[in-house]
Amino acid sequence: MKYVIIGGVAGGASAAARLKRINEDAEIVLFEKGEHISYANCGLPYYIGNTIEDRKKLFLQTPVSFGNRYDVDVRTLNEVTAINRDRKTVSVKNLRNGKEYEEDYDILLLSPGAEPIKPAIQGIDLPGIFTLRNVADCDRIKMQAIDQMHDNATAVIIGGGFIGLEMAENLCKIGYAVTVVEKATHVLTPLDWPMAAIVQQHLQDKGVRVITQNGLSAFQEKDGKLSVVLEDHTELPCDIAILSIGVRPNIALAQACGLKIGEAGGIWVNEYLQTSDECIFAVGDAIEFPHPVTGKPYCNFLAGPANLQARTAAMNMVYPQSVQYQGSVATAIAKIFELTAASTGLSEAALQKAGIAYQTVITHPAPHATYYPGGQPIHLKLNFCPESGRILGAQAVGSQNVDKQIDVISLLLKHQGTIFDLVNSEHAYAPPYGSAKSPVMFAGMVAENILSHLMNPIQAAELDEILDKQEDINLIDVREIQEFKVGTIEGAENYPVDELREFLEDIQPDKKTVVFCEVGLRGYVAARILMQSGFEEVYNLIGGMKTYRLVGKHNK
């Protein structure tokens, strides 16, 4: 059996290795139009920032070492220009000598990846404008922008996603003054605003200028220098500009040979990762697949799912329809200076777009036992179904143990787990590493309190709507007087939770009552006191003042 693979890296190279492990007699030809077949794509920003100093460490395998180990015919700088389904061949152009030829196959695997979005705007081809998708892009940035940088060098990054912010950190590290431009309302759109606000503030604290709700309009050369022009006509002179506004599936080959393209714009595949041609499989950034929560097709541009798809496809290429791919919940993480930001599943915006009902909790637990020194809070947001408690998505921001919390939630989410599974989860615990109630366990408990009607939640945005309308409510700050004096919400009265029972007669029980503390725990205790003392409508502010300071409008 002869297998032909188009494209290397996480999809194609992983599939080739898996094929050989399960079928030593397989004949495998791997085509890659670039020079490299197996490299650390996600490590490129850190090479630019000199965290990774040795370029060789970016390469997991060379074409020669990979070919020798797995007995694969690796042909780099060979571009597949067409798929001839009628005669089961591919047309290939050798980019070294220009020679064109055909190669036959029994089974074909497509792993063409994705391509950076470059808008057709004025000045898009001016010098100093870069994308970062592969080693060649990385080398261009290092050679033209980094190695020739000067004092007071400036960079503009268009796009505030994970890669854009990783680039912001690494360019700052080597001396650039950086501006991040994001067309959406905030950076890191996979995160909801209460979480993204923490990241955005941290970027600004580190000297990064952040411009939101303002997109790219054009590039121009002015006084011998590159200038980024925004939609509101703001001009940002800079030495380099990095386009990080997203990628799209590379479907050109698939489309040209008549393979089915799905509604999300990727190559359609079934649960066995077969395309509409049963002899052709596809994996990686180029495909679309139903989301495990929404059931709707979407494209996912992450290395982890691509590796799993490669493994799954290889099994099905040898043993037809033996393993089903279950989809990806888009679990992602990034280091942004001293913070880590991570997400899994669906954000509020995605849930609203999909028309899925949800409830949300925000907690700020310590990463380990509070009495053990050195811990900074983890800011954790959990989206879940208000009826069944099924986990729909989560986000976390912090400096410690963020990856652990998101990984636990991601695993449960992928298997349709609920907030009750979080409550009943078990975690390794010792004071330096965690708490008896782990952060995810604690978030599950808060969610359980809501579903059990022990607490009525109110989000910061909902409270702002009430205050904007100047509704007559009881707004009660249950923190200590010293905390209250430092800052509170406009119109709040201070009744510390430990003294609340003494002041019940001073609070009108027939009015809507909103209580809040610093993070939500004392607010919950206060809400339970009031709810069991005849108060008809009591709400606890989710995330407390720690969240409201970042996103609320009525800070005092």
Q: Would you name the residues annotated as active-site residues?
A: 42
Rounded distance between C-alpha atoms, residue 554 and residue 469, angstroms? 12
How remote is the C-alpha of 312 from its chain's centroid? Answer: 23
User: What three-state secondary structure class fits 493?
Assistant: strand
Rounded distance between C-alpha atoms, residue 490 and residue 163, angstroms? 38
Provide the residue type at 197 as one letter: A
Rounded distance between C-alpha atoms, residue 59 and residue 38, angstroms? 6
| Helix ranges (DSSP H) in 86-161 | 135-140
Give yes or no for a contact between 190 and 94, defined as CB atoms under 8 angstroms apart: no
Query: If residue 342 lies in a helix (H) or strand (E), which one and from where to where?
Result: strand 339-345
Classify residue 428 by burial, with Cβ atoms within 10 Å: 0-12, 13-18, 19+: exposed
How remote is the C-alpha of 58 from its chain's centroid? Answer: 22
Torsion sign across C-alpha atoms 44, 15, 283, 64: positive
Rounded distance between C-alpha atoms, residue 82 and residue 60, angstroms? 29
DSSP 8-state secondary structure symbol assigned to residue 261: B
Burial 489-505 (b: 16+ CB within 10 A, else e): beebebbbbeebeeeee
Listed residue (392, 538, 410) closest to 476, CA to CA: 538
Task: Locate the DSSP E strands across 2-147.
Answer: 2-6, 27-32, 38-39, 59-61, 73-76, 78-84, 89-94, 100-104, 107-110, 114-116, 129-131
Torsion of CA 302, 395, 336, 227, to 10 degrees: 70
- Number of Cβ within 10 Å of residue 532's Cβ equals 9
* Alpha-carbon distances, residue 142 vs 53, 136, 146 (angstroms): 12, 10, 5
